[in-house]
């Protein structure tokens, strides 16, 4: 499990991909968060119930991310989510200046 993504609108008509198909999304890191793995608050997160959620340490660490799409040089929010810290940091990342519309 890499994380959870919550789209602004449901259902997304363009989201008709099979489970085996790769879909590229642009995500922007907003902030780092964490929650103790043994806390009942972990179940407030959508991924808290998933067996695949990283829970090997004392704390589940994740990044809050913004899903964006570009239109005429302006970034527009398509959704929000969380990515497990280790999975996020394993990606190629770069600094980005953007105007959010």
Structural contact between residues 62 and 53, judged by C-beta atoms closer than 8 angstroms: no
Residue ranges of the domains in the chain?
3-89
Residue 63 to residue 81: CA distance in whole angstroms: 8
Handedness of CA 95, 34, 42, 53 (dihedral sign): positive
| Tens of pLDDT, residues 38-91 | 877 777 787 776 777 766 778 888 999 999 999 999 999 999 999 889 889 998
pLDDT tens figures, 15-34: 555 667 777 889 999 999 98
């Amino acid at each position: 499990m890499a994380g959870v993504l919550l789209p602004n609108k449901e259902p997304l008509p363009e989201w008709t991909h099979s489970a085996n198909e790769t879909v590229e999304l642009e995500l922007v890191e907003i902030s780092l968060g964490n929650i103790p793995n043994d806390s009942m608050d972990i179940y407030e997160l959508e991924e808290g119930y998933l067996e695949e959620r990283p829970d090997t340490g004392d704390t589940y660490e994740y990044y809050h991310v913004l899903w964006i799409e570009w239109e005429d040089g302006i970034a527009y929010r398509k959704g929000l989510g969380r990515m497990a810290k280790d999975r996020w940091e394993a990606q190629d990342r770069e600094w980005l200046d953007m105007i959010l519309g």
